[in-house]
A and B are shown apart, each in its own frame.
Chain A
Amino acid sequence: MDDLRKEFEQEALPHMSALFSFAVRLTRDRDDAADLVQETYLKAFRFFDKFERGTNCKAWLFRILKNSYINRFRKTSKAPDTVEYDAIEEFYETIRDSSVETSVVEEQVIDNALDDEVAKAIESLPEEFRTVIILCDIESFTYEEIAEFIDCPIGTVRSRLHRARKLLAGSLAEYARKRGFEIPGVVSKPTAAIPEGSLNDEQ
């Protein structure tokens, strides 16, 4: 049992920071996130003998965390935030049109964005987009792992990721403009304006 715990500590505990960050962005509450991560680790430890050695432990932990999160929401009758896809699409097209001529400027804006602004921009994304961008660009999961995580085809992962990055670019442009940075032709609006409802699949 001690050997198992040692192996678990070595395999699973180094991912605590990644899990906690993701949980905070999922729950938007640090206390809820701490509870969620603890629950995740306790479940993972209980079923560690079922974990297939040599596979991605981090992805396994993230799946447990997601299931725990869903179960919690079911128990408390709170549904996770979802978005009306049409509204997202409309906003996305606005950004797409306006940024065509200014991609170089936008690249500079993105590159020079403050860490705090990037974090805020991620947090302001609707959950479906936030999840894929965190898993891919921050946590380095493969498309296959993300597809399994969100239970969608890989094509959906690709399209959500693309749109998430575009939305994020729009938010960062907005922050830059507020800081007085001139971006000719860019019309962006805060993602907070995106109405929330149910997600239609974007296949």
Chain B
Amino acid sequence: MNNDAIYTGLDSRQVEREEQIVRAVSATLSRRRGALRLQVPVEVERSIRMALAEQQESAIRPWYSALLDMLTRPAFQVGTAATTLLIVLGILYSGQRTLSLPGELTTAALVAFPGVHSGDTKLNIESSDKGQISSFLRDNGIQHEIVYPEVDVELIGANIFLVNDLPCAELVYKTSGHTIALLQVDQSKIAVGQVQMDPVVSDDVQHSKWHWAATSDNGTLFVWKSNNIMCTVVSDLQIDEVSSLFRLETL
């Protein structure tokens, strides 16, 4: 249908007026695009990012699952099996040391947490000595000062994860079988976009100092900034339990 068909039965003056109205509607909508677009709720965006990360993991998994299947075949020679097993373990071990997480900080922390909590992700360093942990992290590419918040739980070690290729430190605490994992990123890396941060969380942190979120599957999320270090805590504890362990006034 062309414009002539749209304006069938109208004289030129009527056509002009009608065009003014539709142009006004179009201009109004275009101008108000930002206001008319709904913001994605932070939990929805996080859920999507996590689902993507999980989908990526499951896409990788069949590769070594197939190798493990092969190892279990009776016809497979024992010597060959042992060699292959060593290679596979080596790959998995090195993969764990540089486990790559989604590029958005809170999503990365939530994705990393289940493995840390279950023990499937082995700690890169097991120690409660802050000096020893800091030294290890520095030797492995962490350039900023590590934040050790005052918290009433035992520090058991640390991990290094890659977030958008940037090595990021994660401190791991335990209490009565519960886990608290604290992923840290230098604020300057977020500012230049090397690590992304959900703008809603970022605003919360800037304006209210803390951002809290209870997520149904992967745990409680708690974000704050300390000395230009963005700190992201994930725990299987509830919000009130986490807040009682951290001395919020000292953060």
Q: A residues bordering B, Cβ < 8 Å?
A: 1-2, 5-6, 8-9, 13, 16-18, 20-21, 24, 30, 34, 37-38, 41-42, 45-46, 96, 99-101, 103-104, 106-107, 110-111, 113, 115, 118-119, 122, 133, 136-138, 140, 155-156, 158-159, 162, 165-166, 168-169, 172, 202-203
Contact between A115 and B52, CB atoms less than 8 A apart = no
Q: How far is the CA of A162 from the CA of B72 in the complex (A)?
A: 66
Tell which of B17-25, B73-81, B113-121, B169-177 binds the partner.
Answer: B17-25
Q: How far is the CA of A111 from the CA of B28 in the complex (A)?
A: 6
Contact between B51 and A6, CB atoms less than 8 A apart = no
- From the candidates A5, A13, A138, A156, name the one contacting B37 in the complex (CB within 8 A): A138
Contact between B21 and A103, CB atoms less than 8 A apart = yes
Q: Which residues of B are found within 8 Å of A46, using beta-carbon distances?
A: 55
Q: How far is the CA of A114 from the CA of B41 in the complex (A)?
A: 23
Contact between B37 and A166, CB atoms less than 8 A apart = no
Cβ-based interface call for B83 (8 A): no
Q: Which residues of A are found within 8 Å of B35, using beta-carbon distances?
A: 115
Contact between B51 and A42, CB atoms less than 8 A apart = yes
Q: Which residues of B are found within 8 Å of A106, using beta-carbon distances?
A: 21, 24
CB contact under 8 A between A138 and B21, given known A45-B55, A118-B29, A158-B3: no
Q: How far is the CA of A119 from the CA of B37 in the complex (A)?
A: 9
Contact between A16 and B18, CB atoms less than 8 A apart = no
Contact between A100 and B17, CB atoms less than 8 A apart = yes
Cβ-based interface call for B45 (8 A): yes
Cβ-based interface call for B103 (8 A): yes
Contact between A166 and B22, CB atoms less than 8 A apart = yes
Contact between B6 and A159, CB atoms less than 8 A apart = yes
Query: In the complex, which residue of chain B has the Cβ closest to the Cβ of A164?
Result: B25
Q: Which residues of B are found within 8 Å of A113, using beta-carbon distances?
A: 28
Q: What is the 8 Å Cβ interface bit string for chain B, positions 55-67, against chain A (1 contact, 0 not)?
A: 1100110000000
- From the candidates B26, B48, B53, B60, name the one contacting A137 in the complex (CB within 8 A): B26
Contact between B100 and A2, CB atoms less than 8 A apart = yes
Cβ-based interface call for B207 (8 A): no
- From the candidates A24, A107, A133, name the one contacting B20 in the complex (CB within 8 A): A107
Query: In the complex, which residue of chain A has the Cβ closest to the Cβ of B40?
Result: A20
Q: How far is the CA of A60 from the CA of B3 in the complex (A)?
A: 28
Cβ-based interface call for B38 (8 A): yes
21 A-B pairs within 8 Å (CB atoms) are namely A1-B56, A1-B60, A5-B53, A5-B56, A6-B103, A9-B196, A16-B48, A38-B47, A38-B48, A42-B51, A45-B55, A46-B55, A99-B21, A100-B14, A107-B24, A122-B36, A133-B29, A136-B26, A138-B37, A140-B30, A169-B24
Query: In the complex, which residue of chain B has the Cβ closest to the Cβ of A5?
Result: B56
Contact between B44 and A34, CB atoms less than 8 A apart = yes
Interface size on B, residues (CB 8 A): 44
The 7 closest A-B pairs by CB, nearest first: A155-B1, A137-B29, A103-B17, A165-B25, A165-B22, A21-B38, A107-B24
Task: Known pairs A30-B41, A136-B26, A156-B1; list 11 more (Cβ under 8 Å).
Answer: A1-B56, A5-B52, A46-B55, A101-B17, A110-B25, A115-B35, A158-B1, A158-B3, A158-B6, A166-B25, A169-B22
CB contact under 8 A between A16 and B55, given known A21-B36, A110-B28, A202-B1: no
Query: In the complex, which residue of chain B has the Cβ closest to the Cβ of A166?
Result: B22
Q: How far is the CA of A1 from the CA of B63 in the complex (A)?
A: 12
Cβ-based interface call for B5 (8 A): yes
Q: How far is the CA of A107 from the CA of B39 in the complex (A)?
A: 28
- Chain B nearest CB: distance from A18 CB in Å? 6
Cβ-based interface call for B164 (8 A): yes
Q: What is the 8 Å Cβ interface bit string for chain B, positions 2-22, against chain A (1 contact, 0 not)?
A: 110110001000100110111
Contacts of B90-107 to chain A: CB distance below 8 A:
100, 102-103
Query: In the complex, which residue of chain A has the Cβ closest to the Cβ of B7?
Result: A162
- Chain B nearest CB: distance from A202 CB in Å? 7
Q: Which residues of B are found within 8 Å of A137, using beta-carbon distances?
A: 25-26, 29-30
Contact between B48 and A17, CB atoms less than 8 A apart = no
Contact between B48 and A110, CB atoms less than 8 A apart = no
Q: Which residues of A are found within 8 Å of B39, using beta-carbon distances?
A: 17, 20
- Chain B nearest CB: distance from A179 CB in Å? 16
Q: Which residues of A are found within 8 Å of B25, using beta-carbon distances?
A: 110, 137, 165-166, 168-169, 172
